[in-house]
Amino acid sequence: MKLKKIKITSRKLRYRLTTSIFLGVLFLITFGAIFWHIQKGPELDGTPKLLRYSFLWNEKVWMMLKSSKRMSVDKPVPKKGEKFRVNGSLGLREAFYPENYFVKVNNGREPAELSISAFKLLPKTNYSTDFRCIEGWSEELHYAGVRFRDFMEYYNVGKKPDGKYYAYVGLETPDRRYYVSLDMESMLHDQTLLAWEINGEELTTEHGAPLRLVIPIKYGIKSLKRIGKIFFSDVQPPDYWAERGYDWYSGF
């Protein structure tokens, strides 16, 4: 390809350069102004409004592409009892007494209190996959517990009187200091567990004993430890990190 050559007066050329520089500066100022406007403008749940809308838009795009239907890839089973990273003690500061521990389950109709054995008698599911923290690190872990789906079916919770699922599930720690909410589609996922074992051993207190959520299709912030209450709603329940600027969906 040949480059085009033309003859031009120096006056016309000066005009062309001036116009280009002017447009360039205008472009820079506009770009900077848009950035500043987003960054310093009003916030929605701890993040600039446009960034919040961007999270919601991305959520729509990936939900449309069925991101909550795929499986988190299987990984080799780690050694039994292998130690793993402790991160976050929100909601775990109160003393924990296993003998009188009950999980409140609220279906919107009749609330129930379930002991841990009420969960352990349900069909046990186990698998190994990556645990991915929103900070960036990841670990291969082996989980065992009951599928959330199986739990809902066995105790007949999660559905409205008309037989349809509620849109959201909310979970909180007994002291209510940490709480998450999730979309029903993700909670029905095959790998979403109410777990009592990791790497072949009972959960320790710092890892969320006696029962924790494990949802590997989302960032670790959603896998709430030491479940105190499970409830269902059509209104999105509060979510600790989503109130602090993070993406509510946080799904892979």
Partner 1 sequence: MNKLTIIEKHSRILRWTHWLNFLLLLLMMWSGILIYWADQAFLPIPKLWAERLHLNNRLAEGMGWHFLIMWPFTINGIIYVTYLIISGQWRREKYQSAQKVAYFLVPLLGAGTIISGLAIYKPVQLGWLTELLGGYRMSRYIHFAVMAGLLLFIIIHVIQVIRHGWNNFRSMIAGYEIEKD
**Under the rule (CB under 8 A), what is the footprint of partner 1?**
1, 3-10, 13, 16-17, 19-21, 24, 27-28, 31, 35, 46-48, 50-52, 54-55, 58, 62, 65-67, 70-73, 130, 132-138, 216-217, 241, 244-247, 251-252
How far apart are CB 99 and partner 1 at their closest, in Å?
A: 38
Q: Which is nearer to partner 1, 27 or 96 (CB)?
A: 27
Cα(12)–Cα(29) distance, integer angstroms: 26
How far apart are CB 64 and partner 1 at their closest, in Å?
A: 11
How far apart are CB 128 and partner 1 at their closest, in Å?
A: 13
Q: Which is nearer to partner 1, 11 or 162 (CB)?
A: 11
Amino acid identity, position 31: F
Q: Which is nearer to partner 1, 90 or 133 (CB)?
A: 133
Name the phi and psi angles at 213, rounded to 5: -85, 145
Q: Which is nearer to partner 1, 131 or 232 (CB)?
A: 131
Q: Which is nearer to partner 1, 5 or 79 (CB)?
A: 5
How far apart are CB 213 and partner 1 at their closest, in Å?
A: 16
Nearest Cα to Cα of residue 112 among 120, 103, 122:
103
Cα(240)–Cα(244) distance, integer angstroms: 7
Distance of CA 23 to CAs 17, 31, 120, 128, 150, Å?
A: 10, 12, 68, 56, 62
How far apart are CB 142 and partner 1 at their closest, in Å?
A: 16
Cα(99)–Cα(105) distance, integer angstroms: 18
The answer to whether the CB of 201 falls within 8 A of the CB of 234 is no
Cα(35)–Cα(62) distance, integer angstroms: 25
